[in-house]
Amino acid sequence: MVKKRACVFISGKGSNLKNLIFHSRDNSFPIKISLVISNNREANGINFAKKYKIPYLTINTNKNNYENKILINLKKFNITFICLAGYMKIIPNNLIMNYHKKIINIHPSLLPKFKGLNTFTRMIKEKEKKAGCTVHYVSEKLDSGISIIQKSFFIKNTDNESDLKKKTQKLEYRAFPEAIIKIFRKY
Ligand code: GAR
The CATH number that applies at residue 137 is 3.40.50.170
Question: H-type helices in 6-118, by residue range?
Answer: 15-24, 45-51, 66-76, 93-98
- Left (φ > 0), alpha (ψ -120 to 50) or beta: where does 16 sit? alpha
Pick the last residue of a domain from 80, 100, 120.
100
Q: Is there a catalytic annotation at residue 107?
A: yes
Judge contact between 19 and 173, C-beta under 8 A.
yes
Residue in 16, 48, 83, 171 to alter for ligand 1 test, most ligand atoms within 8 A of Cβ: 16
Q: What is the pLDDT of residue 185?
A: 85
**Are both 44 and 23 inside the same structural domain?**
yes
User: Which letter does DSSP use for residue 12 in this model?
Assistant: S
The size of the chain, in residues, is: 187
Q: What is the pLDDT of residue 160?
A: 97
> Residue 79: which domain range?
1-100
Distance CA 172, CA 73 (A): 27
**Are both 47 and 126 inside the same structural domain?**
no
Q: What is the pLDDT of residue 186?
A: 57
CB atoms within 10 A of CB 146: 10
Query: Which residues does ligand 1 sit against, CB inside 6 Å?
Result: 10, 12-16, 45, 85-86, 106-108, 133, 169, 172
Question: Mean pLDDT for each 10-residue chunk of the chain (187 residues)?
Answer: 95 98 96 98 98 98 95 98 97 95 98 98 97 97 97 97 98 98 82
Q: What is the pLDDT of residue 107?
A: 98
Q: What is the pLDDT of residue 89?
A: 96
Q: For the chain, how many structural domains are there in total?
A: 2
Q: How far apart are the first and last CA of the chain?
A: 11
**Are both 94 and 125 inside the same structural domain?**
no
**Are both 95 and 124 inside the same structural domain?**
no
Pick the last residue of a domain from 100, 131, 165.
100
CA-nearest residue for atom 3, ligand 1, is: 86
**Are both 81 and 34 inside the same structural domain?**
yes
Q: What is the pLDDT of residue 1?
A: 81
